[in-house]
Amino acid sequence: MPAPAPAPSTGKPAGRIRQKNEKAIIAAAEIEFARHGYKGTSMNSIAQAVGLPKANLHYYFSSKQGLYLAVLKNILGQWESALDSMTVDDDPAEALARYIRAKIEFSRSQPLASRIFAMEVISGGQQLSAHYNHDQRDWFRQRTAVFQAWIDAGRMDPIDPAHLIFQLWGATQHYADFASQICLFTGKSSLKKPDFEAAADNLVHMVLKGCGLTPPARA
């Protein structure tokens, strides 16, 4: 990975250059946090991975905790954007199918991000609890409200919206977090794109049928 340009001595970089450098740092940090966890990762190892002097790294992120939170925020932002696109005016079957496929694709293309989030939750979610509780709960209530509106309108079966979201998260992230387990039992050396597409097809069928919906034709 090419090293970001060093931060100027007069202060923090701004604008496009800063965004580019932060993106490179976050990408390197994802790899380190996924390999070693939060406690086992140091700012020095991240600086070495991105090819930036440790002193310059602090121009962008003043602490390991700050960088870790930036990584989590980046993961959550990508996950939430897929669910944010759902509205009460959408067709439930089409919207759920799109979401499942988007989350499966995220597991395929960014497995390390999913594993970092899983490790954070398994370890007690201390960083998430300290920094995201209020905002995330508001966001979660807004998302469950969309499902509840579909239920109230008779557009899908009366299931618990919160548990539906939990099931969607767990089922789609399984293909990133437990890929080695899947390979062990299927005899595959690794999961390829067709494997993820087949997983998405099956999940769409099972989830939508469980919600009393007819799975749409695959685009």
Q: CA of 19: how far to CAs of 26, 34, 54, 63, 181, in Å? A: 10, 22, 18, 18, 36
Which CATH number fits the domain that encloses residue 41? 1.10.10.60
Residue, of 146 and 135, whose pLDDT is higher: 146
pLDDT of 113 > 80? The answer is yes
For residue 126, the model assigns a pLDDT of 82
44 and 79 assigned to the same domain: no
Q: Is the pLDDT of residue 6 over 70?
A: no
- Classify residue 215: in a domain, yes or no: no
Amino acid at 212: G
Share of the chain above pLDDT 90, in %: 61
Please identify which residue in the block is written with the tokens 């979610």: 125
Looking at residue 80, its pLDDT comes to 83
User: How many whole angstroms separate alpha carbon 195 and alpha carbon 105?
Assistant: 11
Total domain count, the chain: 2
Mean pLDDT of the chain: 88
The domain that holds 126 is classified in CATH as 1.10.357.10
pLDDT at 139 over 90: no
Q: What is the mean pLDDT of residues 11-38?
A: 84
Dihedral sign, Cα of residue 49, residue 41, residue 133, residue 152: positive
What number is the average pLDDT over the span 157-168? 96
Rounded to whole angstroms, how far apart are CA atoms 158 and 126? 33
Identify the H or E element spanning 102: helix 92-109
Residue 164 or 53, more confident? 164
Say which residues have a Cβ less than 8 Å from residue 42's Cβ, sequence separation at least 6: 64
Residue 9, number of CB atoms within 10 A of its CB: 7
**Would you say residue 219 has pLDDT above 90?**
no
Rounded-to-integer distance, Cα 92 and Cα 24, Å: 37
Instruction: Name the residue among 18, 19, 21, 15 with its Cα closest to residue 3.
Output: 21
pLDDT for 1 beyond 70: no
Q: Write down the pLDDT at residue 193.
A: 95
pLDDT exceeds 80 at position 114:
yes
Q: Which amino acid is at 68?
A: Y
**Which range marks the domain in which residue 20 is found?**
15-62
**CA–CA distance, 45 with 51 (Å, rounded to integer):** 10
Are both 200 and 151 inside the same structural domain?
yes
Q: Which residues contact 18 (CB under 8 A, 6 or more apart)?
A: 12, 60
Q: What's residue 134's pLDDT?
A: 67
